Amino acid sequence: MQTNPLPEALFDGWSGVLRILIIAPAAYAALVLILRLSGKRTLSKLNAFDLIITIAIGSTLASIITSRSLALVEGLTALFLLVAMQFIVTAASVRLKLVDRIIKAEPSLLLRDGRLLTEAMRRQRVTEGEIQAAARAAGVERFEDLEAVFLETDGSLTALPRTA
């Protein structure tokens, strides 16, 4: 009888390694296919709902790859279900304003007519430096030359230069 010279935590045999070598590429390929079929919205900039789905998908993929007790078909069913739920909720948000309001935050106005709205900045945890960076990205050097700056629902900043 030959014993394993390495502790089980380091190496538990080749069957686990072989399982990962087979399951990981299959699960990854299936996830790419599911995401491609679900459309561009699944891979868009993240709002809170999209972030939750993305984390759940990543966690499920990791479980499929590493858990011996989870069969590939069961894991792929879970992935498909997560992507389908995301598709259904985003489709409903396009058609129903109530659903849209539930899953997405409203954009926040952080600067108006060249003046920083400091209370809104504090609530949204946005610094003056971040607003300056958004202004530079819009080709504007001074706040006075901005009509508005918004914190968008995906966390990005949009700077609107003043019009003549």
The answer to whether position 135 is within a domain reads yes
Q: Strand 115-116 to strand 108-112: parallel, antiparallel, or no bridges (unpaired)?
A: antiparallel
What's the CA gap between 7 and 3, in Å, rounded?
A: 10
- pTM for the model stands at 0.60
The full DSSP string for the chain is -PPPSS-TTT---HHHHHHHHHHHHHHHHHHHHHHHHH-GGGGSS--HHHHHHHHHHHHHHHHHHH-TTS-HHHHHHHHHHHHHHHHHHHHHHHH-HHHHHHHSPPPEEEEETTEE-HHHHHHHT--HHHHHHHHHHTT--SGGGEEEEEE-TTS-EEEEEPP-
Q: How many domains are there within the chain?
A: 2
138 shares its domain with 60? no
Residue 5 lies inside a defined structural domain of this protein:
no
| Residues 70, 120 within the same domain | no
For 57-107, how does the pLDDT look when each residue is reduced to its tens digit (9 = 90+)?
899 999 998 888 888 899 999 999 988 888 888 889 889 999 888 777 789
pLDDT band at 144 (very low <50, low <70, confident <90, very high): very high
Q: 117 with 92, same domain?
A: no
Opening angle at CA 126, ends 125 and 131, nearest 5? 175
Domain that holds residue 72: 14-102
Q: Mark whether 81 and 118 lie in a shared domain.
A: no
- pLDDT of 41 higher than 60: no
pLDDT of the residue at 51: 76
